[in-house]
Amino acid sequence: MPDQNIPATDLQPDGNDDSICPKCGDSDITGGSVDIEDGTALQRCSCAACGASWTNVYDFVGSYLDSDGEAGGESDGTV
């Protein structure tokens, strides 16, 4: 699991596009599995263009019910 003690000064500001490299801006990136702990998801990523590696950090904000569990039942999408 990636180091969860990431210094706040190393975090990129909210609103960054997580589909591009935060160093060079290239979209040729790969992401590993997502580790979830205490409402935070961490994903190690790397860029094929410049060789940078980083951890994307995601916060849990809610759940979206895709199915209510009844046969053929669909949710109304309420969070």
Q: Where are the domains of the chain?
A: 19-59
What DSSP character marks residue 4? S
CATH for 19-59, options being 2.20.25, 1.10.3470, 1.10.10, 3.40.50: 2.20.25
Q: Are 47 and 24 in contact (CB under 8 A)?
A: yes
| Whole-number pLDDT of residue 2 | 44
5-40, pLDDT tens digit by residue? 555 556 565 556 788 998 999 999 999 999 998 889
Q: Give the bridge partners for 40, in sequence order.
A: 37, 59
Q: What is Dmax (Cα atoms) for the chain?
A: 49
Task: State in Å, rounded, how far the first CA of the chain is from the last one.
Answer: 29
What DSSP character marks residue 27? S
42-65, pLDDT tens digit by residue? 999 999 999 999 999 988 888 888
